[in-house]
Amino acid sequence: MNPTLWQASIRDVQFGTEVTCVEPCNLYGCSIGDHSFVGPFVEIQRGAIIGKRCRVQSHSFICEKVTIGDDCFIGHGVMFVNDLFKKGGPSGNAKDWKPTLIGNKVSIGSNATILPVSITHQVVIGAGSVVTHDITEPGIYAGNPARKIRSLP
């Protein structure tokens, strides 16, 4: 039997000025702002928006309906989720998916998982954290579920 093979590619992407992408990566139908960096083995799906001066490290997954503000850092292996499996499994219907909004100057540590939430400006998410609820106050958050552990100076 012959498998169906699809190659990772960069297609239909709206790039700002001086964007750097390290291949292989799979970027399609998304927008990446000025002076941003995308590392290898990253997937950014249709409709996702990455702001200006952002850095997305290797092996991260940014799904549809994710908007990331300016001056953000997305660590290695960060996973964004837009489907809450409300029917006991993945939904193939985009109407069931939820948006995620990341403010400006947000840093997300390696291997964090971000469910469909809103995160305000000037937040640090610790490595390995799971963000399950909106974050409305600047500060440092960590754990599963992520909780505020201290304020920023």
Query: Could you read off the pLDDT tens digit of each residue along the chain, which spans 153 residues?
Result: 899 988 889 999 999 999 999 999 999 999 999 999 999 999 999 999 999 999 999 999 999 999 999 999 999 999 999 998 888 888 888 888 999 999 999 999 999 999 999 999 999 999 999 999 999 999 999 999 999 999 998
123 near 139, Cβ under 8 Å?
yes
Which pairs from 102-107 meet CB under 8 Å and 24+ separation? 102/66, 102/67, 102/68, 102/69, 102/72, 103/69, 104/51, 104/69, 104/70, 104/71, 104/72, 105/69, 105/70, 105/71, 105/72, 106/68, 106/69, 106/72, 106/73, 107/72, 107/73, 107/75
Q: The whole model's pTM is what? A: 0.95
Q: Which CATH superfamily is domain 10-84+95-117 in?
A: Hexapeptide repeat proteins (2.160.10.10)
- Domain-wise residue ranges, the chain: 10-84+95-117
